[in-house]
Structure 1
Amino acid sequence: MHLAPAALAQRQGDLFCLSDLHLGPQRPELTERFLRFCQEIPAGVSDLCILGDLFDFWVHRAQAQEEPQNCVLRALQAVRAEGIRVWLMPGNRDFALAPSVLAEFGIAALPDPTLLPGGIVLTHGDLLCTQDHRYLRFRRIIRNPLLLRLLRTLPYSVLLGIGRRLRRSSQKELQKKTFTMMQATDNGIAMAIRGEGVFASSSAPYRILVHGHTHQAIDEDLPALNAHRFVLSDWQTTGATLLRCSATGECALWHYPPR
């Protein structure tokens, strides 16, 4: 478990968490919705955490100069210029987005998982899908730091081909998976809250688990674990469900645009 950077742990304002935007050239209307959100962040928010899958597809830093990726990154840079710190956690779609690329736009990389003060765990959510053994095995391999460094030395055209093949393979795999395999399991949720495996730390067990990945917004008490779980929705043109946490640790789901 990674402890939150001091700047995030000691924030003075509210924290917004969002996830699973899957932005790309195929859905320009979704990009427009997110750009509008960046201009309408309410007063009192000091930090914006994107818990994975900002982009639908990422293989190379050259994408930072392409559209709509460049427009999105510049919008987040403008958010940072307004005094709101921006943090990005890798997701299963954009895990290859290097911290050095983010830094060029004033965005700070956030490890998965991250522990905030008050026992609040932030994670993308794919680690909780413990029934999907094949994906979790692939995740361990592809995120090996040595392999990632090697892949980043390859030409953009080569990586683009590899990425497209992986996306086609992933789409075929999704058709074979059961609903249960694609969801956070009871075992995965308990593992995270109890602080087991990659979630281990001296601060366990934790009070609140926050994640995305499974796309359906959830706000639920977990009495057997003496904890609470918030799940962020994916983004649609109609908006999305985010999480807003005060500096004192009170959290609640928040819909954009406000209802």
Structure 2
Amino acid sequence: MTTTTWILSDVHLRWDRPERAERLARFVERRDPSRDRLVIGGDLCDFWFASRQSHTEPPDQPPRCLGLRSLAGFVASGGRLSLIAGNHDQWLNHYYQRVLNTSFTPEPWVETIGGRVVHLYHGHRIGRPPFWKVAMESRRFLDAFRVLPEPFAVGLSQRLDRNNDRTRLEDDRRVLARYQAYVQTHARQAHLILFGHIHTPVFHPARDDVFPPRPSWAVLGGWQTQSSWLRLDDDPDHPPCLVVE
């Protein structure tokens, strides 16, 4: 029986953005646990969820988030789920163990699928991120954000969103340059290299007209406004397919 691996990244689930959970649930419900495998390349949940919302759920109840409930159902039905820790959800391993019966897999995630060696990285550790972003990803910051009064937490979150929107194009340009350099450095180790972290999905086919030859590589993400995933079949005659909808 042919197995299909579906790879996605950067869904950024949070309770005040229910449309993300609804789109993820629709995606998961179309998968067959007996022949489909799901791989998530980091930031399944947003820092808001990681710091504030995961702490409020009763430990003996199913997850409140529809997207997480759909993943839990997929796993409970025998489906295989692999998770990489992103910069937003790197402190949620115990939570994912409880609600999804799944622990983080070491980065990079490496598998041979359909004769292709596939490397998957979240990407936030490639290069040197700004100091303030490193500080915000610390456990100390998340613990502090969790106890902020709601109006202050909302205000800070909105300010961060505005700052990210203002600098997104330049930030993405810098990160993509790091990814391209990484692909060149690891060209002989993989047929397909996948990243997350930035939120513009794109697929670059392999190139044999450069030296060394460059493998295929892609950036996954974009779940803030749409859905995207990469499909990999065990059949080597079926090339990787990036879907954005």
TM-score interval, smaller chain? 0.7 to 0.9
Unpaired runs of 5+ in structure 2? none
Partner of 1:8: none
Given that residues 32 and 79 in structure 2 are in contact (C-alpha distance below 8 angstroms), is that contact kept between their aligned partners in structure 1?
A: no
Partner of 1:214: 198
2:26 is the counterpart of 1:32: no
Out of 41, 44, 54, the position equivalent to 2:31 is: 41
Q: Distance in 1 between matches of 2:169 and 2:24?
A: 28
TM-score (norm. length: structure 1)? 0.69
Provide closer, same or farther for how the CA distance between residues 155 and 40 of structure 1 changes in structure 2, counting only shifts above 3 A: same
2:16 is the counterpart of 1:16: no
Partner of 2:78: 83
2:222 is the counterpart of 1:231: no
Q: Distance in 1 between matches of 2:149 and 2:106?
A: 23
Count of residues in correspondence between the two structures: 230
Equivalent AA in structure 2 for residue 214 of structure 1? I
Write out aligned runs for 1:113-192 (5 A): 113-117=108-112, 118-128=116-126, 130=127, 133-135=128-130, 137-138=131-132, 148=139, 156-157=146-147, 167=157, 170-171=160-161, 173-174=163-164, 177=167, 179-183=169-173, 184-192=175-183
Kindly report the root-mean-square deviation, in angstroms, between the aligned alpha carbons of the 2 structures: 3.8
| Range 171-180 or range 209-218, more displaced | 171-180
Given that residues 49 and 88 in structure 1 are in contact (C-alpha distance below 8 angstroms), is that contact kept between their aligned partners in structure 2?
A: yes
Partner of 2:51: 59
SS in 2 for 1:230: strand
SS in 2 for 1:177: helix
Q: Distance in 2 between matches of 1:154 and 1:216?
A: 30
Partner of 1:247: 234
Unpaired runs of 5+ in structure 1? 1-10, 196-202
